[in-house]
């Protein structure tokens, strides 16, 4: 089982609708979760991060954590064509050797349809 | 303020040559990371520096890869005797706290011919 998994998509959402992106993780002890947006040919850009103590809302973006089911979601309200990108989920994990690292999913490609 | 910068933005090299990629992190960030992203693939962790501590080299794919960080700031990733499979975008990131939110540079696109 991969440490961080995302549906590769593409996920197509009409403009103005809510886009919902999910990411599952395997390490039950993970406490930090990050969402990045990556436009084609560009580097990842940090959108939001949350800790295990709660969800976060920032403008049109909301990050939610479901610890029991071990997944984290990113909701994008009032989707715009400019939101079309690949969204990467990253989870801070501690390896069997006690080393910390940020493990990235392979990303979900989101397309907003005008 | 200034973000993470990387140079060169593009590098084309012949198989067997050595290349050096440079990363200048955000001022004040103690942690610095190198990743590699092949076309259509996810991010592959290469190496991590935290302050003056010994780096975590666990992600380096072979001994042809090495990196250093001078004065706790600028970092250089060196690939010796490049191979075609080394072709990828090499991304550098920095963070104010280890393994917390990371900010990426624009990347260096390496093409080995």
Helix (H, G, I), strand (E, B) or coil at B64: coil
CA distance B81 to chain A (A): 26
Of A43, A49, A100, the CB nearest to B98: A100
Q: How many CB atoms lie within 10 A of CB B4?
A: 21
Q: pLDDT tens digits for A62-89?
A: 999 999 999 999 999 999 999 999 999 9
Reported as half-sphere exposure (CB side, CA atoms, 13 A), residue A47 has a value of: 26
pLDDT at B40 over 90: no
Rounded CA-CA distance A75/A62 in Å is 5
Q: Which residues of B touch A (CB under 8 A)?
A: 33, 41-43, 45, 48, 56, 58, 89, 91, 98-107
Mean pLDDT of the B2-20 span: 97
**A92 → chain B, closest CA residue:** B99
| β-pairing verdict for A19-25 and B5-7 | unpaired
What 8-state DSSP symbol labels residue B39? Answer: T
Q: pLDDT tens digits for A35-48?
A: 999 999 999 999 99
pLDDT at B98: 79
Rounded CA-CA distance A77/A87 in Å is 15
Of B98, B99, B104, the CB nearest to A44: B104
B107 and B11 Cβ atoms separated by less than 8 Å: no
What 8-state DSSP symbol labels residue B85? Answer: G
Q: How many CB atoms lie within 10 A of CB A73?
A: 17
Q: pLDDT tens digits for B58-73?
A: 899 999 999 999 887 9
Q: Sign of the CA dihedral B25, B30, B34, B39?
A: negative
pLDDT at A1: 66
Q: Is there a contact between A92 and B48 if contact means CB atoms under 8 Å apart?
A: no
């Amino acid at each position: 089982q991969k440490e961080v998994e995302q549906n590769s998509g593409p996920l197509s959402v009409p403009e103005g609708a809510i886009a919902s992106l999910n990411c599952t993780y395997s390490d039950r002890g993970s406490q930090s979760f990050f969402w990045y947006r990556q436009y084609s040919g560009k580097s990842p850009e940090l959108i939001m991060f949350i800790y295990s103590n709660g969800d976060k809302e920032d403008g049109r973006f909301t990050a939610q954590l479901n610890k029991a089911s071990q997944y984290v979601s990113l909701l994008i309200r009032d989707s715009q064509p400019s939101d079309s990108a690949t969204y990467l989920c990253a989870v801070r994990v501690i390896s069997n050797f006690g080393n910390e690292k940020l493990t990235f999913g392979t990303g979900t490609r989101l397309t907003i349809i005008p | 303020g200034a973000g993470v910068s990387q140079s060169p933005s593009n590098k084309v090299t012949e198989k067997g040559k050595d290349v050096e990629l440079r990363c200048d992190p955000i001022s004040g960030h103690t942690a610095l990371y190198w990743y590699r992203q092949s076309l259509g693939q996810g991010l592959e962790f290469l190496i991590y520096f935290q302050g003056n501590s010994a780096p975590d080299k666990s992600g380096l794919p072979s001994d042809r890869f090495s990196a250093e960080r001078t004065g706790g700031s600028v970092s250089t990733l060196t690939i010796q005797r490049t191979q075609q499979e080394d072709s990828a975008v090499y991304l550098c990131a920095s963070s104010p706290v280890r393994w917390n939110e990371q900010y990426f540079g624009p990347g260096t696109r390496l093409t080995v011919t």
